[in-house]
Amino acid sequence: MSIQVHDTLTAQKRELVPLEPGKLRLYVCGPTVYDYSHLGHARCYVVWDVVVRHLRARGLEVRFVRNFTDVDDKIIQRANERGEDPIALAARFADAFHEDMDALGNLRPDVEPRVSGHIPEIVALIARLVERGFAYAPGNGDVYYAVRKFPEYGRLSKRNLDDLIAGARVEPGEAKRDPLDFALWKAAKPGEPAWDSPWGKGRPGWHIECSAMTQKHLGAPIDLHAGGKDLVFPHHTNEIAQSVAATSDGLHAEDFARYWMHNGFVQIDDEKMSKSLGNFFTIRDVLARFDGEALRFFLLGTHYRRDFNFSDQVLAEAERRLAALYETVEKAERLGAGVEPGAEPAFVERARAALDDDFNTPQVLGIVAEAFTEANALADRKGKRSPEEKARLAAFARGARAVGAVLGILGRPAAQALSAIRDRAAARRGIDGAEVERLIAERAAARAAKDFARSDAVRDGLLARGVVLMDGPQGTTWKVE
C-alpha cells in the first residue's frame, strides 16, 4: 500500500510516509465562529473527513485535531454589534457548526481546541520567539514577528519578499519595524476580550493560535497540515515561520509539518461565492431544501484540489443519483438476503486504489457507478437467480456499503434515505406528501373495484406533477422525478 498526496510545499505528488510507523498526526484549520457555516466550510471539512476515514480504513492510527478560532476581529465586531459577549457568541456559532457538520455526516475530530482555552500556551510560544530573536515588542503592548529573520518565508506560497513588499502596508497605530511583519499579540482595546501577558493586557493575533494548539496537541513536527487554499498565504505561511522558529534550529518548513494539503474554492453559477455578490449560501440554507447526504455526495464529485461550481440544478441531479444508488443497494440486499456473500468485488479494491492516489473521489464515484450498473442488470433480470448470483448481489451490497463508509455515504437504511430524499424533493416542487398518500389510497381502492380508468387517471395525474408511483409486493411507494 502506497498513499500519494499532492504536497503544496513541494508542489508535487509524494508518498505519505508517517513520521511514526502506523500513526499519523493531522491538523486542520477550523472555522472562525462568528456566523453560520457556509458552503465553503462544507466543501473543506467533507474533504478532510474523507481523508481521515480513508487513512484509518488503510490501517493508520490517525490523531485528528481541528481548532475553533473563537478570539478574532470579526467575532469581536459581530459581538459588539449585537451587544453580546464575544466568547459566548463564538460558542453559540461553534455549536451551530457542529450541527451542520453532523448533518453532512462528518466525524468529530479527536481534539477540538479553542483559542480562548490556550492563552497560556500562546503567550509562552510568543515569549520563546522573542527570546530567540524572531519577534519583538515595540513597547506599545503589541508583539510582532520579524519576517526577514526567517529564511524560508514564502516557500509554501511560492512568493518572495520583493513581491510581498509591494502589497504590504503599516496600518495606523501599528509599530512594525517592517511592513511585512505581522502581529503575534495585540494590545488590549476598549470593548475587546483581553488576557494578561508579559507585554500587558491583550489578545493573540490570528496566526499564532494554530501554532500553539498544534504543538500542544500533536507535538512537532507533525505529519500533515491541511485547510482551504485561501489559507496558504498568509495564515499557513505565517504558521510555518512561527512554529519552525520556536522549535527548530534548522529553520526548514518540514520541521513543522511534513506535508501540506489544500482544497479548492466553491463557485456559485460560475462566480466565486461571496456576500458582496449576493450569492452566499450557508449550509443550513442548502439543507433546508436538499438532503445532507446528497450535498456530501455532490461535493465528492469534484477532486478536492479543484474549484467547483454549485447550483440548485446540479445538486438536484446529485440527489437523484444518490437515490438511485440506494435503490440498487436495497434490491441487492433484498435479493441476496440469507446467502453468504461471495468474494469481495473487484470494484472495492479499485476504489481504495483511487483514494490512495491523492484521494480521487470523482474516480471512486465513477468506479461505483460502473459497479452499480452491473448490479442493476443482475438484480432486474427476469426469472430466478442462482445461489451464486445471489451471493454476487450480497457481495456487491456489502462492498458498496464498505466503499460508502469511507466516503461517508450509503450508511442509512435504504428506505429511510429514499424517504428523506423524496420528501426534500417534494417540498422543493410544492408537492404535498399527505395528498400523494391520499391519492395512492384512492388509486388502490379503484384498482380493487376494477375501476382501472380511475386508477390510471390518478397515476397519470401524479406523473404530470413529477410523482412516479412504484407498485411492489409491499404496496405502492412513490418518488419525485
Indicate the fold that domain 13-268 takes in CATH. Rossmann fold (3.40.50)
Reply yes or no: is the peptide bond before residue 234 cis, omega within 30 of 0: yes
How far is Cα 211 from Cα 207, in angstroms, rounded to an integer? 7
DSSP assigned state of 117: G
State the cell numbers at 93: 456559532
Quote the pLDDT of residue 276. 62
Mean local confidence (pLDDT), 3-15: 98
Q: How far is CA 13 from the centre of its chain?
A: 21
Give the model's pLDDT for residue 275: 63
Cα 341 from Cα 375, distance rounded (Å):
14
Residue 169's pLDDT is what? Answer: 65
**Which tens digits make up the pLDDT trace of 113-158?**
999 999 999 999 999 999 999 999 999 999 999 999 999 999 999 9
- Binned at pLDDT 50, 70 and 90, residue 383 comes out as confident
pLDDT, residue 130, reads 98
pLDDT reported for residue 273:
72
pLDDT at 349 over 90: yes
Q: How many CB atoms lie within 10 A of CB 177?
A: 13
| Residue ranges with strand state E in 292-384 | 308-310
Q: Which one has a higher pLDDT value, 267 or 113?
A: 113
H or E stretch at 459: helix 452-464
Secondary-structure class of domain 289-416 per CATH: mainly alpha
* For the chain, percent of residues with pLDDT exceeding 70: 97
pLDDT at site 18: 98
pLDDT interval class at 41 (50, 70, 90): very high
Angle of helix 292-299 relative to helix 39-57, nearest 10 degrees, comes to: 80
Instruction: Domain ranges for the chain, please list them.
Output: 13-268, 289-416, 431-480
Dihedral sign (CA 452, 453, 455, 456): positive
Whether 217 has a pLDDT exceeding 80, the answer reads yes
Is it the case that residue 171 has pLDDT exceeding 80?
A: no
Task: Report residue 46 as a C-alpha cell.
Answer: 467533507
The pLDDT tens digits for 462-476 are: 999 999 998 887 789
Strand pairing class (475-480; 222-228)? unpaired
What pLDDT does residue 73 have?
A: 93
Indicate whether 166 pLDDT > 70.
no
Cell (9 digits) for 295: 450535498
Q: What is the pTM of this model?
A: 0.94
Mean pLDDT, the chain, integer? 94
Tell me: the pLDDT tens digits for 50-66?
999 999 999 999 999 99
Q: Give the pLDDT score at 165.
A: 75
Q: Find out whether 458 and 471 touch, Cβ atoms under 8 Å.
A: no
pLDDT in tens, 392-441: 999 999 999 999 999 999 999 999 999 999 999 999 999 999 999 999 99
Spatial strand order in the sheet of 257-263: 61-66, 23-28, 222-228, 257-263
